[in-house]
Amino acid sequence: MKTLLLDESTMKRLLTMREAIDICDKTFADLALGNTLNPAKVNLNLGDSEPTKLPYKASLNAMPAYISWQDIAGMKWAGGFGAGRREIGRPFLNALILLIEPNYGDFLAVTDGTWIMALRTGAQTAVALRHLIPNKKSITVGIYGAGLQGRTQTMAICTEFNVEKLVVFDKYRAASERFKEDMKSVVQGEIVITEDPKDVAQTDAFISVTFADDNFIKGEWMKPGSIYLGLGSYGECDWEMIDGADHLIVDHVEQALHRGNLKKFAMEGKVTEDTVTCTVGDLAAGLCKIDDIENKKIVVAPIGMGCLDVACAGIAYKKAISMGIGEEYQFDK
């Protein structure tokens, strides 16, 4: 059987943000109901964290999944490369997605995963907010990090809500200024650049998508009625942010305790599975409901699940087949 090859430009043609949000919502719920399968990701440390003998400042994650509602399996192979790629002017993240037919084992497609990963990361935030604040149509938003992920977060939230104001902080002001110019046609309200990170937290929902590992986001900044979504892979927020939350929500309990904002605190024994209120999937499936949001502080710590990428790629693959686009290659000659 021939395998379909789909590059980044083709993948951008195949899925809208609205479609990605709905795909992620359905997959979150399907996972919570025990139908979709998503083992914890396997990390290959290439010098990204200690202990290591490697100089690359990189890591790779293998993220397999089976998507029940599509009856398709696959794996995202994704990594961040903090030294080499940046030196030659390439983006920090790089990813591929493999799709497989689960009965016969035919490799259906190899697709670019970098754009899907960015699209899906934004979409998962919109899904969490969709179920946490279902009755709110207009919100204010804060963004830490004015890169690609900051842009797709903005695209997703503006697809789901009317954003009255967006406050952006990046340690490089030039990045914030480029962000404002690029996003002015996406954000319904005003975009405010700030050089004080506290300002970002004075919003209804604030999101961090940075490479920071210095706990620079302080829990004391957060007000009741706010939702903080920390999506960075390291340690962006301090202990007070986690400890002061009325509810802690994750995407995948096992993964969330071993990477990102919760890793350090889990290693210290401050955060356990019992600390977690529920998953985003529980919210999407109606298995958990958080009431009285306006008087609570909510922290969401999604570290990323391969099932969401595979599900998005699966729909993109089926659309490509129906449209007759993409290249084919015969691997099993």
Apex 180 CA angle, 177 and 183, nearest 5: 145
pLDDT band at residue 14 using 50, 70 and 90 as cut-offs: very high
For the entire predicted model, the pTM comes to 0.94
Q: What is the pLDDT of residue 49?
A: 82
User: Contact at 8 Å (CB) between 86 and 67?
Assistant: no
Please state, in angstroms and rounded to a whole number, the distance separating the CA atoms of residues 288 and 29.
11
- Chain centroid to Cα 146, Å, comes to 15
* b/e map 117-140, b = 16+ CB within 10 Å: bbbbbbbbbbbbbbbbbeeeeebb
The predicted-structure confidence for 161-215, as pLDDT tens digits, reads as follows 999 999 999 999 999 999 999 999 999 999 999 999 999 999 999 999 998 999 9
Residue 296 has pLDDT above 80, yes or no: yes
Q: Which CATH class is domain 3-116+307-329?
A: alpha beta
Same fold, 3-116+307-329 and 122-304: no
Q: Letter for the amino acid at 252?
A: H
**Residue by residue, what is the 3-state secondary structure of 241-253?**
HHHCCCEEEECCH
Radius of gyration of the chain (CA): 19
Residue 233 has pLDDT above 90, yes or no: no
Q: What is the pLDDT of residue 197?
A: 97
45 to each of 54, 81, 93, 113, 252, how far by Cα in Å? 8, 11, 15, 20, 20
| CATH entry 3.40.50.720 includes domain 122-304 | yes
Q: Where are the domains of the chain?
A: 3-116+307-329, 122-304
